[in-house]
Homo-oligomer: A and B are copies of this chain.
Amino acid sequence: MQRNTRQRAAILDVLSRQDDFRSAQQIHEQARTDGQGVGLATVYRTLQALAGAGEVDVLVTDDGESIFRQCADAAHHHHLVCRECGRTVEFQAPEMEEWTRQMAARHGFTDVHHTMEIFGLCPDHTAPAADA
Contact = CB atoms under 8 A, between A and B. Distances in A.
B109 A121 contact: yes
A100 interface: yes
Given A65-B64, A66-B64, A99 B93 contact: yes
Given A114-B117, A115-B115, A118-B103, A109 B82 contact: yes
A44 interface: no
A42 B99 CA distance: 39
Contacts of A80: 103-104, 107, 109, 112
A127 B108 contact: no
Stoichiometry, copies per complex: 2
A132 interface: no
A104 B123 contact: no
B99 A122 contact: no
Given A65-B64, A109-B80, A104 B127 contact: no
Interface of A: 60-66, 80, 82, 89, 91, 93, 95-96, 99-100, 103-104, 107-123, 126-127
